[in-house]
Amino acid sequence: MAAAVWFGIETLALSLADVLTLVLIFARILMLVQRVQDQGRQVIRILPIYETIRRQIETYRAAAEPEATEAPIFRQEIRLEGVGYRYAEAGPWAVRGLDAAIPVGSITALVGPSGAGKSTLADLLMGLTEAREGRILIDGVPLTQGARVAWRRRVAYVPQDPFLFHDSLRANLLLAKPDAREEDLWRALDRAAAGFVRHLPEGLETRVGERGTRLSGGERQRIALARALLQEPDLLVMDEATSALDDATEQQILNALASARGQVTMLVIAHRSASIALADRQISLAPPGALSSSGPQDS
């Protein structure tokens, strides 16, 4: 700046006032230039983050599920042909070379030791994952792409420890079918051997407590079964509780399954001999993925 003042006065013969005015103007311009430079530096700093986020969005788009199309119509059987699944591209097979048939209206017990692939197979049959090898056919329609996504709406799942909201039994049931009528609710409860609700002082208005803790494990599972049946699913997958249930509770759940026999196709991830005996068919899995499927058995 000193050099500029000297140059202005000595060489260009400007007055001190002119030189100072020019210096003032240049100083302001310099501030603007600095601000532009700061912004530029910020853009350069953000660019790699932007690039990372863009790549992530692309990855998610590539992994996005296909749009649901028409769900396959299930009137005869679900057929598994050489079905294989592994979680990682080059990882070990969780199930492989699986051939089986699940006829409509049957109760199929899925048996095998822990880690044999029962949950993996249940996920495949529910359309949550897609077979990496072989195929699953519903009345001849492969369970792939949009059909697989749509099939999920035709499936109900009762987990080992079902979740109930801290609300009335009615509200918990209506989650499955908000427009269900009173008689639909009672019919589903009766089919799930959950008639105990009739004897509760507040009936359907009984509040179930946080996560359903005011009900016993067996009652919770029967309410969840009723909720699943209310949906009128094509396939009902039930993960039987592994924890010890008393005999009466176990019998109630078996009664519930037996009373729904023939009305809905059921796949029971079975841990107990009683429910295996109740089933019409059995798919047994043995680690590391060898499978045998037996035909109809006396139940």
List residues bridging with 77 in a β-sheet.
103
- Interface contacts to ligand ADP, rule CB under 6 A: 87, 94, 112, 114-120
- We find the least distance from the C-beta atom of residue 74 to ligand ADP, in angstroms, to be 23
CB 107 within 8 A of CB 42: no
Q: 82: helix, coil or strand?
A: strand
Determine the Cα–Cα distance for residues 187 and 193; give it in Å rounded to an integer: 10
Nearer to ligand ADP, 115 or 195 (CB): 115
The label of the residue with tokens 């009766």 reads: 190
Single-letter code of the amino acid located at 81: E
| Pairing of β 77-85 and β 133-138 | antiparallel
- We find the least distance from the C-beta atom of residue 113 to ligand ADP, in angstroms, to be 7
Nearer to ligand ADP, 23 or 128 (CB): 128
- We find the least distance from the C-beta atom of residue 263 to ligand ADP, in angstroms, to be 26
Determine the Cα–Cα distance for residues 218 and 194; give it in Å rounded to an integer: 10
- We find the least distance from the C-beta atom of residue 112 to ligand ADP, in angstroms, to be 5
Q: State the Cα angle at 138 between 89 and 153, rounded to 5°.
A: 80
- We find the least distance from the C-beta atom of residue 116 to ligand ADP, in angstroms, to be 4
